[in-house]
Structure 1
Amino acid sequence: MAVYNTERYLSEAIHSISSQSFSDFELVIVDDGSTDGSPEILKSLAKQDARIKLVTQVNAGIGAATQRGINESRGEYIAIMDSDDISLPERLALQKQFLDLHPDIDAVGSQWRMLHADGGDIGIDTHPINPATVSVLMYAFFSLHHPTTMIRRRALEKVGGYSLDRGCLVPDYDVFMRMQLAGCKFANLPEILFIWRLNPASTTHHKARAQAASVADVRDTGFKQLLLNDPQRAEAIAKSIVHSFPTGTWQDERIRQLLPEREPSLLYRTWLDLPDDTPADHFNKALVLWLKKPDQYCETLREQLITDNKPWLAALIDGYRGIGTVDPALPNDVLTINPDNQIGVSLFVTYSGASEDFSQRLQQAFALKAQAAFSIEIIVVSIKPDLSLKPFSQLLSTHACIFDEEDGLAWNTAFHKASGQYFAYLEDNFRFNTNVILEILESQIQHKTRISFMPDTRYFADALDENGLPALDNSFHPVWTRSTLLGKDRVHLSNFIHKRALLRDFKGNIPELGIAASRYLGRYLAIKNDFNIIEAGVNYFIPAIGLNENPLPLFQKTIGDWYLDYGMTNFPAPVFHENLPVPQIEYYAKALSTAWLNNTLYVHPGNVSVLENFYINRVNLVIRMPLFRYLLTHNKKNYLIIFWRNKAYLNAATSLLYCIYQTVTLRLFTPFKK
């Protein structure tokens, strides 16, 4: 444990180690020249526990202090501990057990909870568990959380330990990168074994720019060495990371924000220079380039979409850049809903190839069907093409499910075959609370409710609590409303139970949306319909961090969200607003208002700033537009100030007059109150 001026949290950190369930350890603490009350606290605690070895030195930096502690220690395994954090009681025992059982692994981390400096809970953060995934992602971000790690001494000594260079503000990332290049392997346990405090005095906060530069340097240096050692593997890793995270990882975003002048990573530049040997390579490159710089690569991607037989998505690309004002034509048979039959509920269960998850959801569907006092049909939807259901054929037939054994049912065909008055959904990683769902369904049918929404309770699939169960996501969320659900991206198809008729006028090309189709369907329902919100019906298990190596779903999600968020009007993205001619500005201002009046555009935190900026900064005599008047009603003061500062005096005056009119009208027609 390296210590520097953490008196506020020091006792709690040390106590969390001294009270571990595994007791055969030494706690080596290096006081790196603290100037607060830390030295006195350390001396007092060292007297109380013979396992504490206290070392003091002139301030030399976190890397030098950590290495000094390792030099003073005797253990085969080195557990890292920060002086403002908390290790949970089973940490040392479980990590030692893992390393004992896995001699091929040189360091192991864990999942962790986060605290504010004042002790308030922030939530859970996770890293990948699988060693192969940890290895690949090390070239994207530090895929172990340093203070959670236990390391074999020989692995550290193999690379010379931690850097003593004070200019390197990420000595942890540096040493682990060097270890990986030397052939070391890493893993993370699924258990939550650590509590990490977001301390404003830490390097992460008060030297953020310099630390981001150190991260970028270590990452580029490591990948450069990999290119020299094994260029084929380096190129494969570059392709895997860029295709899995087309817009970059959280680490890339942090570097972009803090160091906007810095060039892209060496890994990305390596991927950019890779030859496009196949049509798939051409398509994936066009997708990634558009996702990173849509203003520059629309035409390139549009051509690829046409080549790949996706004309609807190609038409959306035109709309996205402000070319054309006509909605893309939809195939006549995209979504045909048959007349209602005598079935109460059609339950759609998705299949993506994940057998264990699918089996568990099927069992829930069968239980629901068996216990219901009304009829339920189960329809299996294959969300990827060419997924065979042969392994489940007998089980599905026994329960009279509707499915296609060979090729699977796409959403279109599944909807065609559905006979239920109501539609419900059980997608990958979702689970129903069966008794609650039964009550909700029965109430829906009895009261002929159009649509209801069940916010999901979230659990981490790759983070286990003290009972070995998926950990509850206890991070803060607002009161759930239609607006906050859309704004916080908490809308999924499995959250809905609705009348089949709500999809009769559906607008969208499901086949071209691919894996993103269910997301699009869910957001379509949320944007088009006001709904009841009923708690406790659905659970969602957040998938583990992985590498899907496919940029297409993110593109489908991005373009689908844009189309729905702006009322299916082909309203261009903000990056194209600067060059819009006045007639097009007028057209889009009217089209957005019409969409809002027709309930195909819903204002929420995810789209409101774009709408505000467009109307305030682009539209003349903007008070004419009904949607602007709605926006003005909710933000009068700010809009009037902006108009005045921008010298848009006509808009300022007419908006002020409207506000006065609205206020007077409200007072005239509101009953007098004493």
Structure 2
Amino acid sequence: MHSEISVIVPVYNVEHYLQRCINSIIQQSYTHLEIILVDDGSTDFSGRICDLYKKRDKRIKVIHQPNSGLSEARNTGIHAATGEYIGFVDSDDFIHPDMYLSLYQMMEENNSDVAEAGFEKVYGNAPVLREAGGGNVTVYSGHQAAVSGIVNLRCTTYSWNKLYKRQLWDQITFPKGKIFEDEFTTYKVFHACNRVAVTDQKLYYYVQRKSSIAHSQFSLKMLDHCEALDEMIRFIEKNNPEALPIVSIKYMFSNIWHLHSLMVHRKNIPDAMMVINRRVREILSCSKYLGRKRNLSEATKRILGDHYSSLYDQRRKIIILLFLLRRSLYFFFITLSCRDFAKRHLTLQRGKLST
């Protein structure tokens, strides 16, 4: 007898995409599904579409809740799920007809706690290759998968292209009110696994929308990613310190990019200098984990087995960026100090003239 899979779909104002998403789930070749549609306070017709599908397919459950964000919608779905396995699909995306059958078989054949598929980016109404074909399957330990996902080598931190054993989510939740929610959670789920099976078959279709969070312009919510990075490095320090020469590469690259954005948009950021100073301190503090080239080589061989050359190239770029960062920050703060001094001097002179 096949085990039931609970598929959780957070829904918010996606009336133009939702039917394609739901159809791709109900048409799965693996039919033992519990489909949980969590309407997160939609103001368009998305909620009604959910209710119509519920009447058509007895496997569908619909939950309507006040708008609380993607993380809380997923958490609501996890709490309501009764299946032995859990999967997530974002409501503007869709999936290959054999995705859950393939992932379930991978888990059974490899005795894994998580199975992960590849994904295809879809732009607009561009046609999608529907034949997934045979894929190569690689099995990692949980610790290997966590590190591989963090640095985006074979495993990924996306939550939606995977199938999980239900109990993995008993102690892990998505962070309320945060964007980049996957960056807070997926590596922790991997870390809790014994085995993770990964295929390069592209079974998930990731729709690219200009209005989505991932394509939004800079806002203070982007600092959630900085928080996720800080939490990640502390988790690795505590639970898998030998991986620090590897994961510090992701940490440094992402933080330097965020620091650049903060400096460019500092006029729109309250207490900008305090935020920038903190990022600088975090970056320079973490630079100690880059260590020697030999440290990276040994850690990569022990944990990932290969990928050393690509990681070494990234490490070399970071060292160059750190050198340039130190120089640019020096001139940046000197310029700000001179400007502030000039402002204070001019204000003082005006005060004297007015008296």
TM-score, length of structure 2 as denominator length = 0.67
Residue 215, structure 1, aligned to residue 225, structure 2: yes
Q: Distance in 2 between matches of 1:43 and 1:283?
A: 53
Distance 1:254 1:145, change over 3 A: farther
**Could you say which residue in structure 2 is the equivalent of 1:85?**
93
**Could you say which residue in structure 2 is the equivalent of 1:153?**
166
Q: Distance in 2 between matches of 1:176 and 1:74?
A: 21
Higher alpha-carbon deviation: 186-195 or 76-85: 186-195
**Could you say which residue in structure 2 is the equivalent of 1:58?**
66
Q: CA deviation at 1:69?
A: 1.2
**Residue identity matched to 2:244:** A
Residue 263, structure 1, aligned to residue 279, structure 2: yes
**Residue identity matched to 2:167:** R
Q: Distance in 2 between matches of 1:74 and 1:270?
A: 42
1:134-183 Cα distance to aligned partner (Å, 9 max, x none): 321344468232221211110111x24333x21x2133332223334545
Coordinate RMSD, CA, aligned: 3.8
What is the 5 A alignment of 1:393-472? none
**Residue identity matched to 2:108:** D
Q: Distance in 2 between matches of 1:254 and 1:94?
A: 37
Q: Distance in 2 between matches of 1:178 and 1:154?
A: 13
Q: CA deviation at 1:77?
A: 0.5
**Could you say which residue in structure 2 is the equivalent of 1:2?**
10
What is the 5 A alignment of 1:525-536? none
Q: Distance in 1 between matches of 2:128 and 2:108?
A: 33
Q: Distance in 2 between matches of 1:199 and 1:172?
A: 18
Aligned residues of 1:220 and 1:267 also touching (Cα < 8 A): no
**Could you say which residue in structure 2 is the equivalent of 1:238?**
244
Residue 108, structure 1, aligned to residue 115, structure 2: yes
Residue 119, structure 1, aligned to residue 125, structure 2: yes
Residue 137, structure 1, aligned to residue 148, structure 2: yes
What is the 5 A alignment of 1:278-317? none
1:337-379 Cα distance to aligned partner (Å, 9 max, x none): xxxxxxxxxxxxxxxxxxxxxxxxxxxxxxxxxxxxxxxxxxx
Q: CA deviation at 1:60?
A: 1.2
**Residue identity matched to 1:115:** V
Task: Tell me the SS of whatever aligns to 2:309.
Answer: coil
**Could you say which residue in structure 1 is the equivalent of 2:3?**
none
Q: CA deviation at 1:51?
A: 1.1
1:556-610 Cα distance to aligned partner (Å, 9 max, x none): 9xx9xxxxxxxxxxxxxxxx9xxxxxxxxxxxxxxxxxxxxxxxxxxxxxxxxxx
**Could you say which residue in structure 2 is the equivalent of 1:272?**
288
Task: Tell me the SS of whatever aligns to 1:97.
Answer: helix
Q: CA deviation at 1:283?
A: 12
Distance 1:548 1:147, change over 3 A: same
Residue 548, structure 1, aligned to residue 318, structure 2: no
Q: Distance in 1 between matches of 2:250 and 2:86?
A: 36
Task: Tell me the SS of whatever aligns to 2:279.
Answer: coil
Higher alpha-carbon deviation: 2-11 or 264-273: 264-273
Distance 1:224 1:11, change over 3 A: same
**Residue identity matched to 1:240:** I
Aligned residues of 2:116 and 2:197 also touching (Cα < 8 A): yes
Residue 18, structure 1, aligned to residue 29, structure 2: no
Q: Distance in 2 between matches of 1:272 and 1:554?
A: 12
The structure with more helix, counted as a fraction of residues: 2
**Could you say which residue in structure 1 is the equivalent of 2:174?**
162
**Could you say which residue in structure 1 is the equivalent of 2:213?**
203
Aligned residues of 2:233 and 2:251 also touching (Cα < 8 A): no
Q: Distance in 1 between matches of 2:149 and 2:92?
A: 25
**Residue identity matched to 1:152:** K
1:254-307 Cα distance to aligned partner (Å, 9 max, x none): 53553454636968744526766xxx65999xxxxxxxxxxxxxxxxxxxxxxx
Point out which structure has higher relative CO (alpha carbons under 8 A, 6+ apart): 2
Aligned residues of 2:85 and 2:166 also touching (Cα < 8 A): yes
Q: Distance in 1 between matches of 2:11 and 2:47?
A: 9
* Rg larger in structure: 1
Aligned residues of 1:106 and 1:186 also touching (Cα < 8 A): yes
Task: Tell me the SS of whatever aligns to 1:113.
Answer: strand
**Could you say which residue in structure 2 is the equivalent of 1:41?**
49
In structure 2, the gaps of 5 or more residues are: 1-8, 130-136, 264-275, 298-305, 321-326, 328-355
Aligned residues of 1:134 and 1:187 also touching (Cα < 8 A): no
Q: Distance in 2 between matches of 1:150 and 1:246?
A: 25
Task: Tell me the SS of whatever aligns to 1:60.
Answer: coil
Aligned residues of 1:91 and 1:194 also touching (Cα < 8 A): yes
Q: CA deviation at 1:54?
A: 1.0
Q: CA deviation at 1:198?
A: 1.1
Q: Distance in 2 between matches of 1:216 and 1:38?
A: 32
**Could you say which residue in structure 1 is the equivalent of 2:184?**
174
Q: Distance in 1 between matches of 2:75 and 2:291?
A: 43
**Residue identity matched to 1:548:** S
Aligned residues of 1:239 and 1:271 also touching (Cα < 8 A): no
Distance 1:238 1:96, change over 3 A: same
Aligned residues of 1:135 and 1:185 also touching (Cα < 8 A): no
Task: Tell me the SS of whatever aligns to 1:79.
Answer: strand
Distance 1:269 1:241, change over 3 A: same
**Residue identity matched to 1:30:** V
1:298-317 Cα distance to aligned partner (Å, 9 max, x none): xxxxxxxxxxxxxxxxxxxx
Task: Tell me the SS of whatever aligns to 2:184.
Answer: helix
Task: Tell me the SS of whatever aligns to 2:107.
Answer: helix
Distance 1:52 1:178, change over 3 A: same
Identity of aligned residues (%): 20
Q: Distance in 1 between matches of 2:128 and 2:284?
A: 32
Distance 1:227 1:71, change over 3 A: same
Residue 29, structure 1, aligned to residue 37, structure 2: yes
Task: Tell me the SS of whatever aligns to 1:93.
Answer: helix
